Amino acid sequence: MTLFDWLAAQEYPAEDSNLLSDRTVFVKKGGARLLKAGGQWLFDNEIDRITGPGEGQDERAAGESCPEAGDIVQVKDFDGYHLGIGFYNPRSKIRIRMLSRYEKSSITPAFLRRRLQEAWNYRKAVTDTSSCRLVFGEADFLPGLTIDKFEDILVVESLALGTDRLKLLILKELVEILAADGITVRGIFERSDAKVRELEGLPRTKGFIGPEFDPLVPITENGIRYIVDVKEGQKTGFFLDQKENRAAVARLVRRLSSGEVRVLDCFTHTGSFGLNAAAAGASSVLSVDASEPAIEQARENAVRNALQDRVRYQAADVFELLPQLEKAGERYDLVILDPPAFTKSRSATKNAVKGYREINLRGMRLVKNGGFLATCSCSHFMTEDLFAKTLQEAARGARRRLRQVEFRTQGPDHPILWGDDESYYLKFYIFQVIEEL
């Protein structure tokens, strides 16, 4: 049975059924400031009362008037002004995740199809869609939902209860939308195994949706061939958000490649930045990651691109390795730092700053005078201003001056929705590094 047939055989709400409940949530006076500024969330401490098909009550005493977890409710300000429609979850501090601001929206299968069609039309306009993020949660007005496309395979991550209840319907609609453009989806794998699901009252889950397939999926990005392990790889298997930043590094190396170009690629994961540098003409690349399985996958990717003679791989803790390389007198024309998020909460930001400062100070000291540093942060809580300040402090500690070449963010298939700060997370710089003489 094909995936298309399997999805068609499942049960779904009727095409004209309105999924909006008859419950209305009222916000406290002075509440919902982030929501009113363009955010997509309403928090538990901002709710005043809930009305059912009758009187309004305090949320904790609402009884039968209280919506069920995952219900779609109307949201109104304390004075009755319409604020939007969203998923309700009494188990989460994020009590409501917004779906629409339009008062007369009917939340039907056709509504969800329009959302998905708009997301797909946007990707076709702004990026190469052979492999890309098709749905980016709140930034596509489908809260808590991520769907990545790796050639003819989809990988879905569902982190919100309301969206999770509609997951199969959403996937069916998306597969049909792609089919209308001549794209046949061969399989779907779910990677809803993040711990954050437990905050929504959801179990962590991972596995095939529909017919099984080989989870090692070949893709090509920027002319580089990779194998993406959608089952065991990090997150959904491959970091698509750095696609254009990898291309920027390749352009830089191409301009430098009139002579010998040595590159140090740190936190390489499956080798993507280092492979882009090698393909662009770097004479030697040292790619480092703490994960042995990631290093093995990176080696295989190098062989797939006939770059194994230019790229050397080392499984090591980058924080421990960089001082060793400095002590040994190693210097590089380009150092690439693509670390994991050092913080996933506001409370841990102080320690994250120390980590970013240390890793960048060490990286700068390994750059030849006049060479280049590509560095980034993928933490939402490491804001653009804080990251810039941290890099400046690292430069002072390393006795280096930074000349900015480029500042970039995540690729356009991971859109930044203005007003929704959570959608902006990736900050990427390329600097020329100059010694203070």
DSSP 325-339: HHHTT--EEEEEE-P
DSSP letters, 353-421, are HHHHHHHHHHHHHTEEEEEEEEEEE--TTS-HHHHHHHHHHHHHHHTEEEEEEEEE-S-TTS---TT-G
User: CA distances (Å), 59 to each of 65, 85, 146, 160, 202, in order?
Assistant: 9, 17, 30, 20, 22
Residue whose C-alpha is closest to residue 162's, from 58, 61, 90, 258 = 90
383-419 burial, b at 16+ Cβ within 10 Å, e below that, comes to beebbeebbeebbeebebebeeeeebbbbbbbbbbee
Beta bridge partners of 154: 149, 188
Give the E-state strand segments of 216-283 in sequence order: 216-221, 224-229, 262-266
DSSP class of residue 68 equals P
- Calpha distance 46→386 (Å, rounded): 28
Please give the C-alpha separations between residue 88 and each of 120, 166, 328, in angstroms, as whole numbers: 26, 14, 57
Scored b (16 or more CB within 10 A) or e, 7-36 reads beeeeeeeeeeebbbebbbbbeeebbebbe
At residue 341, the 3 state secondary structure works out as coil
Query: Given the structure tokens 């939007």, which residue do they identify?
Result: 84
**Residue owning tokens 């982190």:** 159
Active site annotation includes 378: yes
Which of 66, 132, 266, 378 is flagged as catalytic? Answer: 378
Spatial contact of 200 and 159, defined as CB atoms under 8 Å apart? yes
Contact between 364 and 398 under an 8 Å Cβ cutoff? The reply is yes
Distance between CA atoms of residues 327 and 243, nearest Å: 33
Residue type, 390: T
Half-sphere exposure of 22 (CA within 13 A, CB side): 6
Catalytic residues: 378
